[in-house]
Chains A and B, each alone.
Chain A
Amino acid sequence: MKLLTHNLLSSHVPGLRPGGGFPLRIEAAEVRVRPVPFNAAFVSRLVPRLRWDALREAAESLGRPSELPPEPSPGYEADEEFLRRLHHVLLEVEVLEGSLQCPDSGRRFPISRGVPNLLLSEDE
């Protein structure tokens, strides 16, 4: 699971209050880095969609020192170094084993071989 996916993901456990499913808390047992070709324009256009605090928190929870500033600074669209660092955090870092925890319900979703299992049980 990439951190981009994590930043967009919101728990779909039924009966949560609005916004109560985000952000899922990452408990990572195994993480890897997989190179992905860099596309500055794409990364730049992702910035407005991201929840920045949740992204920094997620990067830190993976035991990586946060290479990201507290906020994207004005003019980030032209700042290649910033975009490359963001690209790395969003697309190249993957959680292979661990789990995601829904903030409101506490429900855990296991991650295995990089794939989170979001299947709900019969009674959910």
Chain B
Amino acid sequence: SSRVVEIQSQMSERAVELLGLPEDRACLLLDVGCGSGLSGDYISEEGHYWIGMDISPAMLDVAVEREVEGDLLLADMGDGIPFRPGMFDGCISISAVQWLCNADKKSHSPPKRLYRFFSTLYTALARGSRAVLQLYPENSEQLELITAQAMRAGFTGGMVVDYPNSAKAKKFFLCLFVGTSGTLPKGLGTECASEEPQQAKFTNERTRFRNVKGKSVKKSRDWILEKKERRRRQGKEVRADTKYTGRKRRPHF
């Protein structure tokens, strides 16, 4: 359904945002549980390259039919991430990691499979990179189990929760750092207890500055303010917004 597609697309966008990738640089990303390639499509739109893994041949067939740009692998993440050390600039996963908690016909227990997944993922990622895993935990025990195995594997970081007060909009992103202890980005909708997912803060006042694509004119004050907000959401250090922000400077010569 198109609503499902839209939600997947929004979560992919948020996950890539949380990766905090360097600006204007094409990166190599891993998409765990890539399915039919919806999240991969977003990665491609952002100009990055990706390799996807999924356990479902049927979903991957759809991805092949759709001619997604990423390279695909039929694999079980619980068996490990089969790459040489330090190969990826980042990893995202949309609605897949909680499946490792299912005790299915495999003889290995969920904690073992989770640990194998996290430890091999840790190895496959480059130093200073991140893994952002959106998931639907069944309960707090599951959340704790997943987080514990991730920490055991060497990751730092933690859970970013968007819209924690909305039953409908609440989303969990496990945000994991490799080799650095970064600042955990802030969840969306954590400042006000609103039920609706927030639009970009500047929308109402500044519509007249938006161009056809719905984006602010590049380098305008709105663009600068939006960019600073985006960087704050990524957990980066940003100067406070003042009356001087985006002010026209004296021409230098």
Contact = CB atoms under 8 A, between A and B. Distances in A.
A1 interface: yes
Interface in B207-252: none
B96 interface: no
Contacts, number: 69
Contacts of B71: 1-2, 4-5, 114
Contacts of B84: 8-10, 22, 51
B75 interface: yes
A64 interface: no
A12 B80 contact: yes
Nearest to B64: A113
Interface string A34-48: 001001011000100
A49 B87 CA distance: 7
A4 B47 CA distance: 17
A21 B105 CA distance: 26
A8 B106 CA distance: 27
Nearest to A4: B71
Interface string B40-56: 00000001010100010
Contact of A115 (B64, B76, B87): B64
B174 interface: no
B83 interface: yes
Contacts of A51: 84
A39 B47 CA distance: 10
Interface in B76-109: 76, 79-84, 86-87, 105-107
Interface residues of A, number: 28
A119 B75 contact: yes
Interface string B4-34: 0000000000000000000001101000000
B162 interface: no
A41 B26 CA distance: 8
A12 to B, nearest CB: 4
B185 to A, nearest CB: 25
A8 B76 contact: no
Nearest to B63: A115
Contacts of B75: 118-119
A120 B75 CA distance: 8
A50 to B, nearest CB: 10
Contacts of A91: 49
Interface of B: 25-26, 28, 47, 49, 51, 55, 57, 60-61, 64, 69, 71-76, 79-84, 86-87, 105-107, 120
Interface of A: 1-2, 4-5, 8-12, 21-22, 36, 39, 41-42, 46, 49, 51, 91, 113-120, 122
19 contacts: A5-B51, A12-B80, A21-B82, A42-B49, A49-B86, A91-B49, A114-B64, A114-B72, A115-B64, A115-B74, A116-B74, A117-B74, A118-B73, A118-B75, A118-B76, A118-B79, A119-B76, A122-B106, A122-B107
Given A12-B79, A116-B74, 16 more contacts: A5-B71, A8-B87, A9-B83, A10-B83, A39-B26, A39-B47, A41-B26, A42-B28, A115-B60, A115-B72, A116-B73, A118-B74, A118-B76, A119-B55, A119-B74, A119-B79
